[in-house]
Amino acid sequence: MYLDQEKKQNLLHIFNLVSTKGSKTDGVYELSGVRASYDFDGYTCWLAYRDLTVTLMFHGSYDFDYQHKETLEFFFKLVSNLLAEKDNL
């Protein structure tokens, strides 16, 4: 899957938003159903939503794992909405 620069940046922004504004349980942050976590050195980060997992890796590479295309589409809408409302969260 190809992502343009804006969508890549949005993934990083949503990771930051979830990890700063979300609630933390057992090392995983959650905000509006989006979960964010990272490995011990922070080089690999994960975003998860329903059956979707996005792996964000060092140097801007990424990987998507999902079962339903609708989940992917809804995830990007949710990301856009959360980023638009970030100041109100």
Q: What is the dihedral of CA 1, 35, 8, 87, to 10 degrees?
A: 150
> For residues 25 and 76, is the Cβ–Cβ distance under 8 A?
no
- pLDDT band at 81, cuts 50/70/90? very high
- Beta pairing partners, 25: 28
Phi, psi of 63 (to 5 degrees): -145, 135
Residue type, 38: Y
Judged by DSSP in three states, 33 sits in coil
Q: pTM, whole model, 2 decimals? A: 0.92
Residue 27 CA to residue 39 CA, distance in Å, equals 10
Token readout for 34 is 């989006």
Query: Bigger pLDDT: 28 or 1?
Result: 28
Q: Tens digit of pLDDT for each residue in 9-60?
A: 999 999 999 999 999 999 999 999 999 999 988 899 999 999 999 999 988 8
Residue 78 pLDDT exceeds 90: yes
Residue 77 pLDDT exceeds 90: yes
Residue 15 CA to residue 33 CA, distance in Å, equals 13
Predicted local distance difference test score (pLDDT) of residue 59:
84
